[in-house]
Amino acid sequence: MTNKASTPKAIDRFTKIELTAEKFDKNYRIPGRPVVVTDFLDSSIDWNLDFLRRHLGEGKFAVRDYGEGHFDAPRNQWTKYCDHVQMSIHDFATHITDGSAKKRNLYLAQNPIGETEAAKTIADEMRFLTQVLGFEPIIPEVSLNLWLGPAGHAEPLHFDPGDGTMMLLHGQKKVILYPPKQSANLYPFGFYDVLPFWVSQVNIEDPDLGEHPNFNKAQQDRYEVVLSPGQVLFIPTQWWHEVVAEGEGYVCSCNCFWKVKPLNRKFQSLRGAVLFAMNLLPWHWVLRFNRFIYKFKK
């Protein structure tokens, strides 16, 4: 069977002046549609390894350790999403420069950096998001997360419980998106499965159409955007997205997770509603319950 990818759809793009709060609310936030701001960053600081070493402090960061060859196996044969290791930015930078981050599939992912010197350099942009566009962080203490990894890394197709904004700071990222209405055609993992139900089983760049025949239907609704430094992408909750670090070297971005407004966008799918209910409970209860059901099913 062939992968009938049609030409991907484009995401709307505006400058900061063009995207007024009214336009953002009416056309993007309320209906839940992605949009790019092309001149989001005021400062021209390049978040390269030298800048990161000097402005992120001496603390440790959680690094996703997928392991060599992990992405070659079909997703439904994975036994876990990844392991985690803790390391300083200095050690992780060495893994990038000596090529071991790429070989071992290491990814410094979703680390809160709101209190660092690096974060201060984009305080104006954060104010634009909160004061002009009216975003409210889900958890104020972790409102800004750092993502840093080798070019070639692809963060698998998934969706998030909150609205998100992804801002590019070094290198380029290609983001492939599918709207929530395509969920069934993207074969999410089951509710009590080895991987969470907000992750897709499809390897979208090399799909197995024997296993996932309806993926061709989702391809008719595939959106793509390549983000360059200084740009920001709004990713509404439940929009599936895979993020590929492009080019040579390494790529750095920051994201924020925001409260979903209006709240009814959380209930576009059963998966969204279950995730909403789970987030109301203490997370350790949810994990324990999940482990229990998973063991019981086996």
Q: Which residues bind ligand AKG (CB under 6 A)?
A: 147, 155, 160, 164, 166, 235, 241, 243, 253, 255
User: 217: which residues sit within 8 A by CB, 6+ positions away?
Assistant: 182, 185
Q: How far is the CB of 4 from ligand AKG (least distance, A)?
A: 26
In the bound state with ligand AKG, the residue whose beta carbon lies nearer, of 235 and 275, is: 235
In the bound state with ligand AKG, the residue whose beta carbon lies nearer, of 154 and 218, is: 154
Q: How far is the CB of 63 from ligand AKG (least distance, A)?
A: 13
Residue 190: C-alpha distances to residues 29, 111, 266 (Å): 29, 27, 19
In the bound state with ligand AKG, the residue whose beta carbon lies nearer, of 116 and 237, is: 237
In the bound state with ligand AKG, the residue whose beta carbon lies nearer, of 78 and 147, is: 147
Q: How far is the CB of 274 from ligand AKG (least distance, A)?
A: 19
In the bound state with ligand AKG, the residue whose beta carbon lies nearer, of 139 and 214, is: 139
User: 206: which residues sit within 8 A by CB, 6+ positions away?
Assistant: none
Q: How far is the CB of 210 from ligand AKG (least distance, A)?
A: 28
Q: Tell me how crowded residue 60 is: count the other CB atoms within 10 A of its CB.
A: 14
- 277 class by beta-carbon count within 10 Å (0-12 exposed, 13-18 middle, 19+ buried): exposed
Q: How far is the CB of 175 from ligand AKG (least distance, A)?
A: 8
Q: Tell me how crowded residue 140 is: count the other CB atoms within 10 A of its CB.
A: 8
